[in-house]
Amino acid sequence: MKRAVEAGRGRRLQPLLEPESVTIIGASTDAQKISGRPLRYLLRHGYKGRIYPVNAGAGEVLGLAAYPEVRALPEVPDLAVICVPAARVPAALEACGEHGIPAAVVLSAGFAETGEEGARLQAQAASIAARSGMFLCGPNSVGVINVWRRLTASFSAHLEEGLLAGPIAFVSQSGAMGTTTFNRMQDEGLGFSYFVSSGNQALLEAVDFIEAFLHDDHTEVVAAYIEGVRDGSKVLRVGRLARELGKPIVVLKAGRTDSGRRAALSHTAAVTGSHAVYRTAFRQAGIVMVEDIEELVDACRLLSQHRSLPGARMAVISGSGGVSVLAADHFAKAGLEIPLLSPDTVTTLQQILPPFAACQNPVDVTGQLFASPRLLQAALATAAQDPSVDGIALVLSMAPPDAARRMAEDIVLFAPQSPKPLAVGWLGGSMVEEGRAIIRKAGIPLYTTLPALAAGLRILVEAGRRTQFVEAAHSVGVLPAPRREALERGGILPYLEARALLDHIGIEGPREAIVRDADEAVENAAQLGFPVAVKLLAPALSHKSEAGAVRVNLTTAHAVREAVGDLLEVARTRLAGEPGEGLLVQQMITGGSEFLLGLVRDAQFGNVLTLGAGGILVEVLRDVVHGLPPLSRGEAERMIGELAAARILDGVRGQPRRDREALIDALLRLSTLAETAGDAIEEMDINPLIVREEGRGAFAVDVRVVGRRGL
């Protein structure tokens, strides 16, 4: 039966989300109690399906015939709403399973969110539901609402008000956050298709509901409040599906800090991973990520109006130089660009605007727009024709009421004809409120603060991003048996086995040799060519520089002998006299910049790639970005573009340009290894990867690999 549940997660969860009949187990005769509200709300909002209250002590509940137990019901209902105390929930689920009820939502609290005993009850409930092939929402859920069908299987007080149907489906791990946001959106005229509180997610989790929502004909935008996911691969899968169906997903992710993650554990027993990894996964999946409730509401409004921006390049038009400068600061912080306008655009603006206006981006029309509001429309039309911009941000401040009204009317006339999307930030007070109302009524995105304007534009850019889902860029086939066997032994791989993995995927290293004493070191150094480095190899010395286990830039045989003596002494003190794997004599790679390439196994998302500033300061600078395999070339370029240290690639302070293509190639090859090795690698560091001058490649100077035990 378990297979039925797993398969159903990819379908529409119809018995749970679109039931034709509902039973309420533990339905109270007191309509004000939590266990009495679901029935009251179903009746209040006009649910058209059949309703069967189960109450062992009453023959009637709120005017409906009640039944003493589940097996006494006159039919097998689609959905069971369970309102009994936590200790009685397993028995209620057993009764539902025996009666063949296909779906249940458990509104009861007192499970994993409360501690060990609650976790035991939750595991028991999940086992019963899985064994019965039942779709289980919760426990600790606020409920399930299907607005179009008037299904209100919930006790939330926001159902005291009316319901506005619309195109937004919303799932929340937190009941309070979910109902608060639902109420806020309804107050702002945003209509819903569904609201689901996934609660402790004993079986079904938020991503399962997102997938179901995407298949619903009424739903055009999917929103979620998420504290954690169990299986990150689902995130990428629903992202792909959303792109195929043209339905955007917007997510507010909690648990970004250590204290936030601790709160998530205690609140709904969610296991949250690194926020940076979640951000990476959402971006690669094409999911819009927001920072707070205000942005979530705004994103749902914008996306339900089918708005997006094809890129991040904005033309800023303003009537104030100071305001436009502040706008530029906020835009940069949000990742938006303010490009130079083309010479033709600047020339046209110079002909239109007063001689003291600023005609380059950001454009300052000056206060003359109050005297001649049509000036604004002309500036907007000109900037919108510029091929170097993707959208128009109009930033206005104080204006006399009549001028504000005229400007607003001109904006409303311009917006439908504009070849580029328009958003307005109007910072004035009550004097411009009439103008703002005109713009609001026309459905043009409108903001009253610069941070909100920048955030709204960022949302539109993310919604317009075309995400590529690709196969691995390099094919290396199946890992050779010796390589996989080495990984499956677990622990830190010997250096030669780690280096063999790099050879297998085609990441080049310096010429090198492993030796045992000074004579061998000198002989091999002469063959390799000076300068060389000498390193002490041992699994216990993960960070060789910190352990004093490496000597570099050795230019003579005498220097090599001295280095070997020093390192053997380190071995005696740090390794109880054992030299470990021996000494590595390695050709020095000069004239390059150091980067870190890494691979780590994340509990939720599997293999995660890391690119960072390399060398000994990697953990101090923490200049790192992440990606999930398989990487597209575009994702590899995005990772490099977001790395602060990547500016070195373009040449700084008179240094030559570095081989960007070689760095991209190394990232793609590591991505392919991640796909090929599957879950066999726990950690992998290539540090440093030295990227040389343009056209001269990149070399992995050191590598550390940890195989995953217990496979």
- Burial-class residue 98 by CB neighbours within 10 Å (0-12, 13-18, 19+): exposed
pLDDT value at residue 6? 42
pLDDT band at 711 (very low <50, low <70, confident <90, very high): low
User: In terms of Cα–Cα distance, which of 422, 174, 165 is closest to 296?
Assistant: 174
Torsion region of 556: left, alpha or beta (phi above 0 gives left; psi -120 to 50 gives alpha): beta
The answer, yes or no, to whether the previous bond of 15 is cis (omega within 30 of 0) is no
Helical (H) or strand (E) element with 234: helix 233-245
In this structure, the strands spanning 64-65 and 50-54 are unpaired
Contact 244, 219 (CB under 8 A): no
pLDDT single digits (tens) 576-585: 755 578 999 9
Is residue 174 scored above 50 in pLDDT?
A: yes
Given the structure tokens 């429309």, which residue do they identify? 377
- Burial-class residue 317 by CB neighbours within 10 Å (0-12, 13-18, 19+): buried
pLDDT single digits (tens) 28-82: 999 999 999 999 999 999 999 999 999 999 999 999 999 999 999 999 999 999 9
Q: What is the mean pLDDT of the chain?
A: 90
Rounded to the nearest 10 degrees, the angle between the axes of helix 633-642 and helix 660-677 is 120
Residue range 606-615: mean pLDDT, rounded = 90
pLDDT single digits (tens) 462-516: 888 755 555 445 656 678 888 888 898 888 999 999 999 999 999 999 999 999 9
HEC profile of 43-59: HHCCCCCEEEEECCCCC
Helix (H, G, I), strand (E, B) or coil at 528: helix
| Pairwise CA distance, residues 671 & 598, whole Å | 10
| Pairwise CA distance, residues 170 & 251, whole Å | 10
| Pairwise CA distance, residues 532 & 701, whole Å | 12
User: In terms of Cα–Cα distance, which of 39, 443, 14, 36 is closest to 194?
Assistant: 14
User: How many residues would you count in the chain?
Assistant: 711
pLDDT band at 5 (very low <50, low <70, confident <90, very high): very low
Rg (C-alpha) for the chain, rounded Å, is 31
| Pairwise CA distance, residues 543 & 659, whole Å | 27
Contact 244, 238 (CB under 8 A): no
pLDDT single digits (tens) 111-132: 999 999 999 999 999 999 999 9
| Pairwise CA distance, residues 571 & 540, whole Å | 10
pLDDT single digits (tens) 13-22: 999 999 999 9
The secondary structure of 356-377 as a DSSP string is TSB-SSSEE--THHHH-THHHH
User: In terms of Cα–Cα distance, which of 302, 328, 308, 304 is closest to 317?
Assistant: 328
Max avg pLDDT among 215-229, 293-307, 398-412: 215-229
pLDDT band at 11 (very low <50, low <70, confident <90, very high): low
Structure tokens at 225: 């409040």
Is residue 543 scored above 80 in pLDDT?
A: no
| Pairwise CA distance, residues 92 & 96, whole Å | 6
In this structure, the strands spanning 143-146 and 165-172 are unpaired
Cβ neighbours of 617 (radius 10 Å): 12
